[in-house]
Amino acid sequence: MIENSETGNLKNEEGIIMRESGILMPVSSLPGPYGIGCFGKEAEKFVDFLAAAGQKIWQILPLSPTGYGDSPYQSCSAFAGNPYFIDLDALKAEGLLTAAQLKAEPWGKDPLAVDYGTLYTSRYKILRAAYAAWCKQCEGLHGCARYYPDAYYAFTLENEDWLEDYALYMALKTANGMKSWTEWPREYRLRDGGALERFRAENEEEIGFWKFLQYEFAAQWKKVKAYANEKGIQILGDIPIYVSADSVDAWVGGPLFELDANGGFARVAGCPPDYFAADGQLWGNPLYNWPYHRETGYAWWIKRVRHALGIYDLLRIDHFRGFDTYWAIPAGSTTARGGKWEIGPRMELFHALEGALGKLPIIAEDLGDIVDSVRELLAESGFPGMKVLQFAFGGGDNEYLPHNHIKNSVVYPGTHDNTTLNDWWENSATEKEKTMAAAYLHLVPCRPTAKEVAAVKADTARVALLRAALGSASDRAIIPMGDWLGLGEEAHLNTPGRLGGNWTWRAAAGFDTAALAKEIRGECEVVCRA
The residue among 273, 285, 270, 279 whose CA lies nearest residue 369 is: 273
Q: d(Cα 116, Cα 501) in Å, to the nearest integer? A: 10
Contact 344, 322 (CB under 8 A): yes
Q: d(Cα 34, Cα 104) in Å, to the nearest integer? A: 11
Q: Is 324 a catalytic residue?
A: no
Task: List phi, psi (to 5°) of 402.
Answer: -50, -35
Q: d(Cα 498, Cα 283) in Å, to the nearest integer? A: 11
Contact 75, 67 (CB under 8 A): yes
Q: Is 318 a catalytic residue?
A: yes
Q: d(Cα 129, Cα 132) in Å, to the nearest integer? A: 5
Contact 22, 71 (CB under 8 A): no
Say which of 216, 246, 365, 423 is annotated catalytic.
365
The residue among 362, 347, 259 whose CA lies nearest residue 298 is: 347
288 to 72, 201, 267, 301, 365: CA distances (angstroms): 19, 33, 9, 11, 19
Helix (H) or strand (E) holding 2: strand 2-3
The answer for residues whose C-beta is within 8 angstroms of residue 107's C-beta and 6 or more apart is: 33, 34, 35, 115, 118, 119, 122
Say which of 89, 105, 274, 318 is annotated catalytic.
318
The residue among 101, 168, 100 whose CA lies nearest residue 129 is: 101
- Cα R_g (the chain), whole angstroms: 24
Nearest-5° angle of CA 54, CA 60, CA 61? 140
| Residue spans of beta strands (DSSP E) within 292-384 | 314-317, 325-330, 340-343, 362-364
Nearest-5° angle of CA 497, CA 241, CA 345? 125
Long-range contact list for 490-495, CB < 8 A, 24+ apart? 490/112, 491/420, 492/418, 492/419, 492/420, 492/423, 493/26, 493/29, 493/416, 493/417, 494/71, 494/416, 494/417, 495/417
3-state secondary structure of 251: helix
Q: Is 372 a catalytic residue?
A: no
Q: d(Cα 390, Cα 332) in Å, to the nearest integer? A: 34
For 116-155, give one letter per residue: b (16+ CB within 10 A) or e.
Answer: beebeebbbebbebbbebbbebbeeeeeeeeebeeebeeb
The residue among 505, 514, 443, 503 whose CA lies nearest residue 68 is: 503
Say which of 20, 216, 417, 423 is annotated catalytic.
417
Hey, which residues are catalytic here? 318, 365, 417
